[in-house]
Amino acid sequence: MIREITVVSGKGGTGKTSVTAAFAKLAGRSVVCDLDVDAADLHILLHPQVLDSHEFYAGQTAVLHAESCTNCRACASYCRFDAIVSSAQGTTIDASRCEGCGVCAYFCPFEAIAMQPRLSGRWFRSRTAIGAMLHGELYPGQENSGLLVTRLREEAHEACRAGAFEYIIADGPPGIGCPVIGAVTGTSFVVAVTEPTVSGVHDLVRICDLCDHFKRPVGVVLNKADLNSDLAVFIETFCAERGYALLASIPYLPSVVRALTEGRTMDEIEDGGIGSSVRQAWQAVVAHFHNSTDRVTS
């Protein structure tokens, strides 16, 4: 029975990846999946050894065959993204501006433009000290990260079945957009990492609304809990009213920064009871599965 735990945050910078790395170590033999493909950094803490690398294609881009081009400028007149520059010296296509709509290829009277799949990034199958790891990266300016998130989740489930692992620990993307929807849909349990700031509270509510929409169980980790006592109380009250488990309340201490720069995870930090709080949070997640049948089986 595969149990997939996805750690999200609503906003960036709350400590989502730090919590994910700690959970991955506490889970033991598991599959780790970095779904934050726009800014992947889980590898910094887990030091994966890449076993194989794969190209990721998403969308299309226009390619000009210069030998067939008569420089009639029809394509440039139809392009609404200013991706085609036509001058007396010839016609060129700026790939960074091309949206892949295909209107230039459709209207070119000489069939000098073709649409081809766009190479948008790469994904990797790796090995870590705790098990398999799936992660990826988008190239600068590329989109469709939701598709890459879905691909990584599919590969993570394959790795979980092949290795007879029990847990998938996924570091989700920030926000509430397409990549996050791709990360939380169908997952077994969502851990929302937040902080007691105005933006932290605002985005916690949004990500929890999203999880409620998809009927996903939620637990909350309150990181940097002593930044603002009033907002910390608000978050605690919010969790109680919504029926979310408050998994841990972690103080904001310089020792966390030092540990992370040294490559140590939060469960190894005993200053301020941080390690104990993180371990308690993980045990609460495990307890959820013992008390629930809401699991991913495919």
Higher-pLDDT residue of 14, 143: 14
pLDDT of residue 193: 97
Q: What are 216-249's pLDDT values in tens digits?
A: 999 999 999 999 999 999 999 999 999 999 999 9
Look at residue 90 and tell me whether its pLDDT is greater than 60: yes
Look at residue 296 and tell me whether its pLDDT is greater than 60: no
Strand order in the sheet with 3-8: 49-64, 113-128, 131-138, 30-34, 167-171, 3-8, 189-194, 218-222, 245-249
Domains of the chain, each with CATH number or no CATH: 3-47+130-290 (3.40.50.300), 59-119 (3.30.70.20)
Helix%, strand%, coil% for the chain, nearest 5: 40, 30, 35
Answer whether 208's CB lies under 8 Å from 192's CB: yes
What Rg do the C-alpha atoms of the chain give, in angstroms?
23
Look at residue 293 and tell me whether its pLDDT is greater than 60: no
Quickly tell me which residue has 């169980």 as its tokens. Answer: 217
pLDDT of residue 86: 87
Dist CA 83 CA 79 (whole Å): 7
Look at residue 294 and tell me whether its pLDDT is greater than 80: no
Dist CA 262 CA 264 (whole Å): 6
Answer whether 35's CB lies under 8 Å from 170's CB: yes
Number of other CB atoms surrounding residue 88 within 10 Å = 5
pLDDT of residue 61: 96
Look at residue 295 and tell me whether its pLDDT is greater than 70: no
Q: What are 28-51's pLDDT values in tens digits?
A: 889 999 999 988 999 999 999 999
pLDDT of residue 12: 84
SS3 assignment, position 146: helix
Answer whether 189's CB lies under 8 Å from 288's CB: yes
pLDDT of residue 292: 66
pLDDT of residue 13: 87
**pTM for the whole thing?**
0.89
Quickly tell me which residue has 């999880």 as its tokens. Answer: 211
What is the C-alpha end-to-end distance of the chain, expressed in Å?
8
Q: What are 165-175's pLDDT values in tens digits?
A: 999 999 999 88
